[in-house]
Amino acid sequence: MNIYLAEVEYRIERYMRPSSGTYNAVRLVRAESLDEAREKVIKHYEEKTVEYDCYYTVCDLEVTEPII
């Protein structure tokens, strides 16, 4: 298993509220491949969604293998 560096831009939208925001984060992801790392990051933010409260959407995602 490898460690990948994920730079993610995501949006949080609040249910029935006009405010929303876009945020940036850098995460380390343990995965077998770049594709699996991308899937894990997207799944992570999808699972943070709480229906009728706040919704998370990944807007941009770049995954690279760091030089260690």
Would you state the pLDDT for residue 15? 87
pTM over 0.75: yes
Confirm if 45 and 20 have CB atoms less than 8 A apart: no
Using the structure block, give the residue that is written with the tokens 């699996």. Answer: 36
Cα angle: 44, vertex 47, 48; to 5 degrees: 90
Q: Tens digits of per-residue pLDDT, 8-28?
A: 999 999 988 887 899 999 999
Q: Tens digits of per-residue pLDDT, 34-50?
A: 999 999 999 999 999 99
Using the structure block, give the residue that is written with the tokens 């995954």. Answer: 63
